[in-house]
Structure 1
Amino acid sequence: MDGTTESDSHMNALVLRESRMLINGQLVDATSGRVFENIDPATENVIGVTADAAIEDADAAIGAARRAFDSTDWSTDAELRRRVLHQLADAMEKHAPDLGAVVTAEAGAPIALHDHMQIGPGISALRWAADLATTYEYERQFPARSALGTETRPIVRKESAGVVAAITPWNYPFYLNMTKIAPALAAGCTVVLKPAPDTPWSATMIGKLAVEHTDMPAGVLNIVTSSDNAVGEALTTDPRVDVVTFTGSTATGRRILTAVAPTVKRTLLELGGKSAAIVLPDADLQAALPYIAGSVCSHAGQGCALTTRLLLPRSRYEEGLQLAKTVMEHLVPGDPTDPTTLIGPVVNRTQFERVLSYMELGRTEGRVVFGGGRSNRHERGFFVNPMLIADVDPGATIAQEEIFGPVLVAIPYDTEEQAIEIANNSLYGLSGSVFGADVAHAVDVARRIRTGTIAVNGAAFMSDDVPFGGYRQSGLGREHGIEGFEEFLETKSIGVPA
C-alpha cells in the first residue's frame, strides 16, 4: 500500500496524506495488509484508505514503546526532548495547510476554525510542552528536620511515568492528539497513540512528520490506526502500559476504568459535558446571546465544553430567545472548505442519525423556536440545521444528555439560586459560562458552579498553561498547564541524611 493516495476533488491536490502507521520508528502497513476507508462527511465520498491494525500490531507498538522507555535516554534527557519536539513543531508549521486540509476532509471541520481551534492550538501546545521539558523543576530538597529519630533533608523527585496509551476522538482530531502526546513526550514518556477511525490521517500525518523531520528515537512515538475496538482494549489492558489517557464519551470512559482495573494503571479521562450558560438579569443580552448561540453551532456543535443549556431569567426570557433565534437563523450549514462557513457536517452517519433523533425528541420535550432536522441545502453529506428549543424542563432528556450537535435548549429561571441549582443539576461538570454586567458578581456565581472550567462574559479559559478538565462524570485528571504535564510524572520521595 502506497504511503499517499490520489487527491479527492474535495481536497487540495497538494495535500500530503499518510495511510501508514508509525511503529518502532518506521511507517508500516498493518501486518495483515488490511485497510479501512476514510470518508469525507461533507460529501460521503471515500477519500482514501488507512492501515487497519489488529492486536498483533498493537502488541508491536507497545513493545516498541516499552523498549524505548527502558533502553534509550528519552526519559532522562530533557534537552533531547526539547530539541526533538521543536523539530516536530517546525515541521508541523511548514505543513500546516496540509494538516488543516486533512482535518477538514476527514472531520468536516470548517477551515475558518483551524487557526484557533484545530491546527494552531495543537502546534502551540507542542511548543509549550517542549520548553517545559527543560524548565520544569524535577527535584526539590526540603530543609533539614528531625523525623523518625533521624536528621534528614528529604528530596522529592518527579520521574517519567512510563509507557502511555493515548486514545483520541474525532471532533478536534489533530488538536486533541497533540494535547495527549505533547505533555507525555515532554515529560519523558513514550507513547502509543490510537486515533478515532473516523479521523486517522490527523494522527498518521504526525507520524510521517516525526519520521521525516525529527531525531526522535525509534519507539518513542507509535501511532496505531484501527477500525477494531479490540485494539483500544488491548492498549488499556496490557501490563506494559503504565498510563492510559482517553478523550471521548462518558460511557466509553466507564468501560475503560473497568478495563484498567486489573493492572491498576493511572487513568486520565476527558469525557462528556452538558454545560450551562447562565445569563444574569443585568447581562447585556446583545453581547451574551450571539456568543452562546454562535458557539453552540460552531463545528456543528461537536464540542464537549459547549454551553448547550441556556438559562435565562424569566423577566427577559422571550427577549433572549428572540436574540438567540436571530443569531441561529444566520448560521447555516455549508461547505467546510469555504472560509465563511462555521457549521460543517457532523462526522458520520451514526452521529447524523443520533442528532436527528434528539431533535425529534426535542419536539416533544420543549417548544421549537427555530430549526432542526436535516439540511435541505445539501443532497449529500451529514448536514443538520441548528435548533433552538425553549420551555425545557431541567430534568428532560435533552437537558441532561449530551447531544453533540448544534442544539441549544433554553430553560427559564426565577432566582439566582435556582439558576445555580439548575446548572449544577447534571452528572457532568466540564464547563459553563456566566454573563452579567457586574463582573465581580458574575465571578462569584461562577465560583458556585461545579465545573472544571467556566467563562465569565465570554472570556477564554483555554490556554497552554491553564489546566482543562471536569468534575464528576466529565472525567479524571487535567490536560494543559503544569497540572497536565505532571499527570505523566511519578513522584518519588528520598530520605537523605542531614
Structure 2
Amino acid sequence: MSSRTGSSDLLIDGALRRGRAGEFPTVNPATGETLGTAADADAADLDDAIGAARRAFDDTGWSRDTAFRAQCLRQLSEVLQAHGDELREVTVAEAGVPVALTHGPQLDVPVADLSWFAGLAESYDWSTDLGTASPMGVPSRRTIHREATGVVGAITPWNFPHQITFAKLGPALAAGNTVVLKPAPDTPWCAASVGRLIAEETDIPPGVVNIVTSSEHSLGSSLVEDPRVDLVSFTGSTATGRSVMTVAAQTLKKVFLELGGKSAYVVLDDADLGAACGMAAFTVCTHAGQGCALTTRLLVPRERYDEAVEKTAAALSGIRVGDPANPRTLCGPLISARQRDRVEGYLALATEEGGKIVCGGGRPAGFEQGFYVEPTLISGLTNDSRVAREEIFGPVLVILPHDGDDDAVRIANDSPYGLSGTVHGGDLDRARAVTARLRTGTVSVNGGVWYAVDAPFGGYKQSGIGREMGVAGFEEYLETKLVAEPA
C-alpha cells in the first residue's frame, strides 16, 4: 500500500499537519503486521481543532448558508466516490473489512448517502409559523426556527469506520454545525484519508471539519468535557457511553449515544427453521460479528431446539473465515489481538457457565497470522448467563429455547440492550404482533432490511440515546428557537 493511499496527517483549521505527540502504528488485522504510522495528536492539537471549529461556527456564515453546505456535501460525496478504490484499499487493510462489504454499507453506500443529507438541508422546513395568538393579552406572532447546535464533537469506533463517520458528518454539516472528529486509534488511516480529500479537493471552509487521530483514548474525554463543544455524538461501547454521558453532564451539553447490543433473532414455530437458522448464521459472521446491531441470540421453539442446533451448526460450519481482500469472504479477522483475546475469554466462560461449543470455538487452521476466530455456536445456556447477556463482538451465536410467542418476547426483552432484532415466522400478522412487543430500535421481519439513509437508527435502554440517519438523525444536530413579535 502506498503512503499516499494511507494518509496519516491531522486536519486542523483546513491544514494537514503532523501530530505534536509524534506518530503511532496502525496494524493490518489480517496479518498482524504494521501497515505504517498515523499522526498522534496531543492535547494542544485537540485544543487547536476545537478552537478552529468554534471560530468557523461563530465567525463565518457556514451555519446560515444552506445552499453552500448542500453544495459542499455533494462535492464531498463526488470526491470520495472518485477516490473509492483508494479508500477501499485502506478500509480492507486497516479495519479488516471484507472487500465485498465496502461495496455496500462499509463505504459506497454511506458515501452516496451524503447527497441525501444535502437534499434534506435544501428541502427542510427551517421555520414554522405558529400564527398569531394573544398570550397574557399581548397579540403576538410566533415562529419556530430550527438552527445548528454549534460545535459537534464526534467520536467514532473502528468497526464501521466510514459508515459511522459519514452518518455523523452528513447530518451535522447539513444542519450547519462544525465538527471535531476523533476516530478510534485502530483505524486512523480511514479517517485521515477522508481528511486529506476534504483539505485538498473540496470547498469545505477551514475549521468546519477537523480530524484528530490519536493513540490516546483520553483525548476523547477531553473533547467531551471542553465547554466550547456544544454537542457530543458518540458511537461505541455502553461502558464508554456511560463515561461520555457523565463527563458531558459537567457542561450540560447535548449528547447522542449509539451503543451496544445483544439482539435477538426470534424464530416462531411456524417459520421455515432451516432458512431462519441459515440467515442467523450468515448475520453473526458478517465482518466477523463486529457489528453492534447484529443478532447474536438465536431464540428457537423448544420442541425443535435440537434440530435448530444441528441446522445452525451446519450453516456456521459452511462459512469459512478468509482474507478480507478476497471478494468471497464474509467473515474476516477481528480488529486486534486484544479483541481476539476478549472473544476467546467469552468462549472459555461459556463452558464454565455450563454451555457447549457446538462448532467453532478456536482459531481457524491456516490463519496463524492475524486475529481470526472461527464462527462459533454455543448451546446449553440460559438467558441469564453472561455469554447470553453481554456483547461479545465476534462471530459467536448463542442459541436459546423458547416456549411460544410470549416466552420468546420475554427472553428477547430480558436484556439491558435494545438495539436491533429479527422476527421470522410463517404468518405475517403473527410476526407483526411479536414485533410490536419487542423493546428495540430496529426490527427485521422475515428478511426485511431496515438499514437506509432515510431510516432512523438507534436503540432503547442501554443501547443509546437518540437516533442516527433519517430526518430524526438530522434533527439531533439542531436547536429549537421560538421568536415572538408584535402581531
Q: C-alpha separation between the residues in 2 aligned to 1:199 and 1:131?
A: 30
Q: What 5-or-longer segments of structure 2 have no aligned partner?
A: none
Q: Does 1:28 align with 2:17?
A: yes
| Alignment-mate amino acid for residue 261 of structure 1 | A
Name which of 16, 20, 45 aligns with 2:5: 16
SS of residue paired to 2:114:
helix
What residue is the counterpart of 2:345 in the other structure? Answer: 357
Q: C-alpha separation between the residues in 2 aligned to 1:476 and 1:121?
A: 24
Name which of 49, 52, 71 aligns with 1:83: 71
SS of residue paired to 2:364:
coil
Q: Does 1:261 align with 2:249?
A: yes
Q: Does 1:219 align with 2:186?
A: no
Name which of 323, 330, 348 aligns with 2:311: 323
Residues 449-460 of structure 1 mapped to structure 2, 5 A cutoff:
449-460=438-449
| Alignment-mate amino acid for residue 251 of structure 1 | A
SS of residue paired to 1:273:
coil
Asked whether the equivalents of residues 268 and 404 of structure 2 are also in contact (C-alpha less than 8 Å), the reply is no
Asked whether the equivalents of residues 468 and 474 of structure 2 are also in contact (C-alpha less than 8 Å), the reply is yes
Q: C-alpha separation between the residues in 2 aligned to 1:235 and 1:377?
A: 42
TM-score under structure 2 length normalisation: 0.98
What residue is the counterpart of 1:238 in the other structure? Answer: 226
Structure 1 position 15, deviation (Å): 6.8
Q: Does 1:196 align with 2:184?
A: yes
Asked whether the equivalents of residues 154 and 168 of structure 2 are also in contact (C-alpha less than 8 Å), the reply is yes
What residue is the counterpart of 1:131 in the other structure? Answer: 119
Asked whether the equivalents of residues 356 and 374 of structure 1 are also in contact (C-alpha less than 8 Å), the reply is no
Q: Does 1:164 align with 2:152?
A: yes
| Alignment-mate amino acid for residue 295 of structure 2 | T
SS of residue paired to 2:32:
coil
Q: Does 1:150 align with 2:163?
A: no
SS of residue paired to 1:496:
strand
Structure 1 position 152, deviation (Å): 2.5
| Alignment-mate amino acid for residue 411 of structure 1 | L
Structure 1 position 149, deviation (Å): 1.3
Q: C-alpha separation between the residues in 2 aligned to 1:115 and 1:14?
A: 23
Name which of 401, 406, 430 aligns with 1:412: 401
Asked whether the equivalents of residues 15 and 101 of structure 1 are also in contact (C-alpha less than 8 Å), the reply is no
Q: C-alpha separation between the residues in 1 aligned to 2:232 and 2:118?
A: 21
| Alignment-mate amino acid for residue 248 of structure 2 | V
Structure 1 position 431, deviation (Å): 0.6
SS of residue paired to 2:462:
helix
Name which of 408, 411, 433 aligns with 2:422: 433
Q: C-alpha separation between the residues in 2 aligned to 1:330 and 1:377?
A: 16
What residue is the counterpart of 1:306 in the other structure? Answer: 294
SS of residue paired to 1:437:
coil
Residues 484-495 of structure 1 mapped to structure 2, 5 A cutoff:
484-495=473-484
Name which of 177, 180, 184 aligns with 2:172: 184
| Alignment-mate amino acid for residue 356 of structure 1 | E
TM-score under structure 1 length normalisation: 0.96
1:63-84 C-alpha deviation (Å, 9 max, x unpaired): 0000000111110000000011
| Alignment-mate amino acid for residue 26 of structure 1 | A
Q: Give every structure 1 segment of 4 or more consecutive aligned residues whose post-TM-superposition deviation is greater than 3 Å.
A: none
Name which of 86, 102, 124 aligns with 1:98: 86
CA RMSD of aligned residues (A): 1.1
1:400-420 C-alpha deviation (Å, 9 max, x unpaired): 000000000011011211110
| Alignment-mate amino acid for residue 319 of structure 1 | E
Structure 1 position 496, deviation (Å): 2.7
What residue is the counterpart of 1:4 in the other structure? Answer: none
1:141-177 C-alpha deviation (Å, 9 max, x unpaired): 0132332212233101001000000000000111111
Asked whether the equivalents of residues 391 and 412 of structure 1 are also in contact (C-alpha less than 8 Å), the reply is no
SS of residue paired to 2:63:
coil
Name which of 334, 339, 342 aligns with 1:346: 334
1:318-363 C-alpha deviation (Å, 9 max, x unpaired): 2222221111111121100000111110000110100011111112
Q: C-alpha separation between the residues in 1 aligned to 2:148 and 2:436?
A: 34
Q: C-alpha separation between the residues in 1 aligned to 2:20 and 2:402?
A: 58
Q: What 5-or-longer segments of structure 1 have no aligned partner?
A: 1-6, 8-12
